[in-house]
């Protein structure tokens, strides 16, 4: 059949339809799909964010300050915050993370109670496309299961504590250690860092070490046990946090000795209670561990949801405080 201007139009239509069918079968869209990295897409603001935060509990003055920092910063920025207090139980934190996933939050922040046991639930969050930010404490999981960690170098805190202790005891003495929660990142780091430095001082001995769970009550209880067993042979106490040190001070006083004099005490956190104890001459040093992580956490959260690059570790800048600084710094301490 001879094609004329009037009768070849159907062939053009048929060919065009056939090309569309082929294109569809090949999975090639007619126009490129938008990319998350497309600069023309609107970036989220703080007020667009829904953030789930799984806090481990409220075992210490430090943790109270940390929680307040998270909540107050969320309120200041207008972030919708879903906050969960696990009451020192890992199973409660895992349930909270799963609840956040079901709610389809934008970001999950978590301070893991212990380092282990997180891989399955973190993988669930990753599969759901929800990034995880570790705050204050690390988790023993592959690095691809969390976006970043903001917090301290716990081993370095242990090293700083040991160096102060070496000076206080002039390189020799018997030390008892009040450890934090077993298998928690701070307890492990502070335990290892302290011993790393003491390895160079053979006349300094750790004669007893026992967990006191970062609480004043348990710190007092464990210190009472140490005093019953070793009595006046104890030259110093190394406490993994200030709350346990305050508990130890109570036990030492009840035993009839002077904390800070008869028994030297070094602790970690630099909370207000530590400055009060130093001002009273009952504590010899506190190593800073900054709990005010709210601003840094939400800054990271916004960058993460907007696909901006973030470091794998945002390390806290921290100091060592001694008794002669206590009176001056007390009025300006934020926690």
Q: Quickly state the pLDDT bin for 41 (edges 50, 70, 90).
A: low
Tokens 């800054």 sit on residue: 299
Q: CB neighbours of 126 closer than 8 A, spacing ≥ 6?
A: 132, 144, 145
Coil, helix or strand at residue 267: strand
pLDDT at site 6: 43
Share of the chain above pLDDT 70, in %: 88
Q: What is the mean pLDDT of residues 112-134?
A: 97
Please determine, for residue 301, whether its predicted confidence score (pLDDT) is greater than 50. Answer: yes
Q: CB neighbours of 174 closer than 8 A, spacing ≥ 6?
A: 205, 207, 230, 233, 234, 235, 236
Per residue in 234-260, pLDDT (tens digit) is 999 999 999 999 999 999 999 999 999
- Give CA torsion, residues 47, 52, 54, 58, to 10 deg: 30
CA distance 110 to 138: 9
Q: What is the mean pLDDT of residues 120-128?
A: 98
pLDDT at site 330: 87
Structure pTM?
A: 0.84
Q: What is the mean pLDDT of residues 92-100?
A: 98
Q: What is the mean pLDDT of residues 155-179?
A: 98
- Report the helix count and the strand count for the chain, using DSSP H and E: 11, 12
pLDDT at site 26: 33
In the DSSP assignment, the letter for residue 126 is: H
Please determine, for residue 24, whether its predicted confidence score (pLDDT) is greater than 60. Answer: no
Q: What is the mean pLDDT of residues 202-228?
A: 98
Written as six digits, the tokens of 38 are 């497309």
pLDDT at site 61: 87
CA distance 179 to 191: 7
**Angle CA 299–304–111, to nearest 5:** 70
In the DSSP assignment, the letter for residue 60 is: S
Written as six digits, the tokens of 197 are 């430095």
């Amino acid at each position: 059949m001879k094609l004329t201007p009037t009768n070849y139009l159907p062939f053009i239509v048929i060919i065009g339809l056939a090309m569309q069918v082929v294109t569809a079968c090949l999975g090639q869209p007619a126009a490129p799909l938008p990319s998350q990295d497309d600069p023309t897409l609107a970036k989220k603001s703080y007020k667009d964010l829904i953030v789930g935060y799984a806090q481990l509990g409220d075992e210490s003055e430090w943790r109270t300050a940390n929680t307040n920092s998270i909540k107050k910063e969320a309120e200041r920025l207008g972030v919708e915050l879903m906050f969960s207090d696990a009451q020192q139980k890992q199973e409660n934190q895992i349930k909270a993370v799963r609840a956040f996933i079901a709610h389809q939050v934008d970001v999950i922040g978590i301070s893991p109670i212990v380092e282990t046991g997180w891989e399955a639930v973190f993988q669930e969050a990753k599969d759901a496309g929800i990034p995880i930010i570790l705050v204050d404490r690390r988790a023993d999981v592959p690095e691809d299961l969390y976006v970043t960690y903001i917090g301290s170098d716990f081993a370095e805190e242990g090293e700083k504590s040991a160096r102060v202790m070496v000076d206080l005891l002039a390189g020799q003495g018997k030390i008892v250690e009040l450890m934090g929660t077993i298998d928690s990142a701070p307890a492990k780091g502070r335990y290892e860092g302290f011993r790393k430095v003491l390895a160079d001082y053979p006349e300094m001995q750790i004669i007893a070490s026992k967990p006191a769970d970062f609480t004043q009550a348990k710190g007092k209880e464990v210190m009472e046990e140490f005093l019953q067993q070793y009595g006046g042979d104890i030259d110093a106490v190394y406490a993994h946090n200030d709350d346990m040190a305050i508990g130890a001070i109570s036990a030492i006083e009840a035993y009839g000795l002077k904390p800070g004099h008869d028994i030297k005490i070094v602790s970690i956190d630099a909370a207000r209670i530590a400055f009060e104890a130093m001002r009273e001459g009952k504590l010899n040093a506190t190593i800073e561990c900054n709990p005010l992580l709210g601003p840094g956490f939400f800054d990271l959260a916004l960058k993460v949801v907007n696909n901006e690059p973030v470091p794998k570790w945002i390390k806290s800048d921290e100091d060592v405080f001694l008794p002669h600084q206590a009176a001056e710094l007390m009025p300006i301490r934020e926690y």
